[in-house]
Structure 1
Amino acid sequence: MSAVAGKAAERVAQEVPAVQFRPKKIRTVAYASAALLVVVFAVVGWLLGDTPTGVIFRTSDQIAMALLGVVLAGAVLLLARPRVRADAEGVEVRNPVTSYKFAWADVLKVSFPDGAPWARLEFPEDEYVSIMAVQAVDREHAVAAVRALRELHKAATR
């Protein structure tokens, strides 16, 4: 990094603090759903031993049913994983399965199109990356996140 770029990044870091945002409502729903899945599958597994249908369920079947609940709960918890971190140098986007890190110089703008479920970073040639941590259902929280990201982008690219 050149001395000029280093001073610019230092100036931006002093002007605008680093931010981090995570979704609010989906995390609550994901944690509650995951807990419910584990409980329901554990109860179903426990009740498998007393079926009057003539089918013989073994202890291994009961354990497998409970473990299936744990696996499904883990999959649901992926919805609670999104996060966006941004500072003077760039932005890191973590979605349920993928993660990206970009310098602000690569980003054209931070947008939240009408009707979109979440915000996005736009790049040249009509490419974009969704920011699933900033979701429309979070309303004011999403507005604050987009404003903060836009402020960091503006400060870093001037």
Structure 2
Amino acid sequence: MPRIAIVVAAVVVAIHITFAALLTISDTGVEIGGSDQLGLALIGVVEAALILLFTRPRLRVGRTGVGVRNLTGERLFEWDRVRGMTYPDKGFSARLLLPDDEHVPVLAVQAWDSDRAVAAMNAFRELEQRYHPHIGPDDNGSDDNGPGGTGQDGRS
């Protein structure tokens, strides 16, 4: 997704700058000044900046928990709150599972990333095995306190 966002942002800026430059070529009688051209170019820059927000998603897994940064902010979920990560059948991104059937979208793991998404899910599971206090190397992730076992959190 970051690569696509960068390309789309560059195209948006290029289109706005091109149209801003072409606004002077007009026989319609409408007065278009330099401030109008500048405004159109700046609108393209603002749109590109908003598109570049899609380069921000990150998933960080460590000893203290799971950090999920989507478009605007980052949240750290301690391991005692994490029940796993799943990829819904009809979803476009993974979900971090939390207690009480809550979930947080993980935009860093997208369906169209195909092999990279599979690698990210596998890496998450390995790190979960390593750092999660309730899941050991010989444990399949299930406990008596609720969901988190094989099949319920998307593990296979």
TM range (shorter): 0.7 to 0.9
Provide the secondary structure at the position in 2 that maps to 1:116.
Answer: coil
**Where does 1:132-147 land on structure 2 (aligned, <5 Å)?**
132-147=107-122
- Hey, what's the Cα distance between the residues in 1 that align with 2:33 and 2:26? 11
- Residue 56 of structure 1 pairs with residue 56 of structure 2: no
What does residue 8 of structure 2 align with? Answer: 33
Q: 1:75 is matched with which residue: 50, 66, 72?
A: 50
> 1:143: Cα distance to partner?
0.9
**One-letter code of the match for 2:48?**
A
**Where does 1:78-157 land on structure 2 (aligned, <5 Å)?**
78-155=53-130, 156-157=132-133
- Hey, what's the Cα distance between the residues in 2 that align with 1:102 and 1:48? 51
> 1:154: Cα distance to partner?
2.6
- Hey, what's the Cα distance between the residues in 2 that align with 1:110 and 1:89? 16
> 1:84: Cα distance to partner?
0.8
Q: Structure 1, unaligned stretches of length 5 or more?
A: 1-25
**TM-score normalised according to structure 2 size:** 0.81
Q: Deviations over 1:27-70 (max 9, x none)?
A: 11111111111111011111111211111111100000110110
Count of residues paired in the alignment: 133
Runs of 4+ in 1 over 6 A off after TM superposition: none
- Hey, what's the Cα distance between the residues in 1 that align with 2:125 and 2:79? 10
Provide the secondary structure at the position in 1 that maps to 2:105.
Answer: strand
Could you say which structure has the higher helix fraction?
1
Q: Structure 2, unaligned stretches of length 5 or more?
A: 136-156
Q: CA RMSD in A?
A: 1.1
